Homo-oligomer: A and B are copies of this chain.
Amino acid sequence: MINPRKPAGFHEFLPSEQLSFDAMVAVIKASYESHGYTPIETPALELAEVLHAKEGGETAKQGYQFTKGDTKLALRFDLTVPLARYVAEHYHDLALPFRRYQIQNVWRAEKPQAGRYRQFYQCDIDIIGTNSATADADILITMNGTMQALGLEKSLIRLNNRLLMSGIIIALKAEKNNTEILRLLDKMDSQGPTKLKKSLLDIGLDKKQADTLVKVAGLKGSIGQITKALKSEDLYNTNIDEGLGRLRRICELLKAAGLSSKNYQIDLGIVRGLDYYTGMVYEIILTDKKEIGSVGGGGRYDNLIGYYKKDNVPGVGGSIGLSRLFAALSEESKDGQGCPADVMVTALSSDLLPYAFKVAATLRVTGINVFIYPKDGKIAKQLSYADKLGIPLVAVCGEEEEKKTKVTIKNLETGEQETVSLKQAAKFCKS
């Protein structure tokens, strides 16, 4: 006998959780489609050299990589790099701009933590083939709309622009430390301003530079407020102008789509770690559940597809970390049971099973989710089974019922029951 167990860091749901999870997937899918994104899926396995074209050693180390025959294969670690490969491979078969969504698992061989697993779902949207602010705004509107559709009213998009940040770093004459500065700013949320300042001094910035950067990283507000704040710090150059202009345009479009400062704000503390971002970057938090941290995010990456294609193609997108979001939202359930059935049919003796099958078929064609208790067993045991699964109604088939082509519908919540004709049964169950 083999001890039945999963590999460490892998997770699966009991039925009730799976039903809740699937319901979230359905909401996200419907929301992405209501914003006109088209679905694709890519294979779980990619050629390692293709998958790690951009990322090199770091993601390769986190990845599941192995050799089969002569081929180095790797499980995808995100959905953006496979998209870049997909667009480059099918370039002449796609109408550009290509607006796609993708809801699939990704794998990372990271150290498992609470709510973080080695296999998890990401739900991505991307627009490939334009560097327009329209596309940037479209992504943000879709992300916000999806959060709202999930009932997460307190979701907030924290929005920034890499171009603006580079402008600020140039204005501070610190551009030779650009990458390190961005890397440190990305940790501002978790480490706080004091540690950030120390780190900035450590990499060789002077006190004024460090002070200004810490101040800048703490700026949040409307585009008007941010513009004013930067002016008062005497920060200006073409990049800053351009970055602010782009953010201003995006905010204008968000506002036109009905979003308000409750849904988004400019936040210069948002940088995003992945170094393929070139323009807009953002993260989404739930202001009533800040402790969860970011539940989604993304940005503009105008060079990524260039790793696979001579002529580069700009892109912008975003991702909801669904597995993590689900883990953070769902309470530990006491009971793992669940079932999508509305009605369970039960036969009072095995002679009555053919009639029970007829009853189930009759109900099912009307759109009712229904099944027959699949085992011989006492009625009390059958009712307790339906109750455990949370099925609201049981259709009891006894001799009298069969003789008169009737069925007794028992409501497990109220305990009430009524015998109705088989013809009326569906209507009765739905009422």
Contact = CB atoms under 8 A, between A and B. Distances in A.
B36 A89 contact: no
A176 interface: no
Contact of A34 (B67, B256, B307, B364): B364
B256 A308 contact: no
A141 B308 contact: no
Given A35-B364, A119-B45, A360-B257, A375 B135 contact: yes
Given A95-B388, A336-B93, A371-B138, A7 B41 contact: no
A86 interface: yes
A252 interface: yes
Interface residues of A, number: 110
A134 B375 contact: yes
A341 interface: yes
10 contacts: A4-B308, A6-B89, A12-B86, A18-B41, A34-B364, A34-B367, A36-B341, A36-B369, A36-B371, A132-B374
A39 interface: yes
A36 B339 contact: yes
B43 A12 contact: yes
A235 interface: no
A257 B119 contact: no
B354 A47 contact: no
Contacts of A344: 36
Given A33-B341, A38-B338, A134-B375, 15 more contacts: A4-B85, A4-B308, A7-B71, A8-B71, A35-B369, A95-B385, A97-B375, A132-B376, A134-B374, A137-B357, A138-B374, A145-B364, A253-B357, A254-B357, A258-B361
A166 to B, nearest CB: 25
B41 A369 contact: no
A36 B85 contact: no
A8 to B, nearest CB: 7
Contact of A10 (B45, B75, B252): B45
A253 B353 contact: yes
B39 A18 contact: yes
A370 B255 CA distance: 18
A105 interface: yes
A50 to B, nearest CB: 6
A380 interface: no
A206 B341 CA distance: 53
Contacts of A18: 38-41
